[in-house]
Amino acid sequence: MQKYLLSAVIAIVCLATSCNSSNEEKLFNGKDLSNWEFVVAENSVPPDQVYSVEDGAILIQGSPFGYMYTKKTYRNYTLNVEWSWVDEPTNSGIFVMIAETTNPFPNGIEIQLSAGNAGDFVMLGGSDMVEYQVPEGRERPRFPVIRKREESNEKAAGEWNKAKIIVNEGVITVYINDVLQNVGTNLVKEGHIGLQSEGKRIKFRNVTLIPE
């Protein structure tokens, strides 16, 4: 009886794992950037001078400003992304719910990857979040920020960090290296996903999405 129950449990676990694996979508295939579109500030250089593939990872130069974004839009999902600063801790971001792909910043929510601030929310291009309140007596800034909850937990340059971003009907939950860093509610519930060029060189890999 115990042997039968153990076999049944193993079968259920294997089935669940198989289902999750089959639902997973690789936004980056490890070979090329065929699933993406590109924005470069003022169209100053060709996109392939900013966004490329190196050793199975996306390499973004960081300058000029810009971002690459998925051709498809997404609504409810879990997004997993690994990133590594190449030369030194620098700046970048993961964009979700991009409603409008304007140049050089879209209308969408940025999950900040800037050194020391990974996990902050930045509201780009006029986007908004329910939790954000303009400080009394001040004008709304161009890029409002909702700060992360915990101390910075990014790894050193050259090491790989993990971002897990859960989006459910506009509610965004962010884990950085398995630490819950932020939760916020966007007014837009569907949009493109993007990776930013800002600062210096940064790499991304294992960019995968599991629809909810």
Over 80: is that where the pLDDT of 56 sits?
yes
Indicate whether 21 belongs to any domain: no
pLDDT of 21 higher than 60: no
Please check whether residue 144 lies inside any domain of the structure. Answer: yes
pLDDT at 4 over 50: no
Query: pLDDT tens across 186-205, in order?
Result: 999 999 999 999 999 999 99
pLDDT value at 14 more than 90: no
CATH code, 152: 2.60.120.560
Q: Is residue 12 part of a domain?
A: no
Residue 18 lies in a domain: no
Domain that holds residue 43: 27-211
Residue 156 lies in a domain: yes
Using the predicted structure, report yes or no on whether residue 15 has a pLDDT greater than 70: no
Residues counted in the chain: 212
Total domains in the chain come to: 1
Mean pLDDT for the chain?
Answer: 92
Q: Across the beta sheet with 107-112, what order do the strands follow?
A: 36-40, 66-70, 192-197, 93-100, 107-112, 121-124, 145-146
Q: Is residue 197 part of a domain?
A: yes
Mean pLDDT of 54-64: 98
Residue 199 lies in a domain: yes
Q: Is residue 20 part of a domain?
A: no
Q: Rounded to whole angstroms, how far apart are CA atoms 155 and 128? A: 29
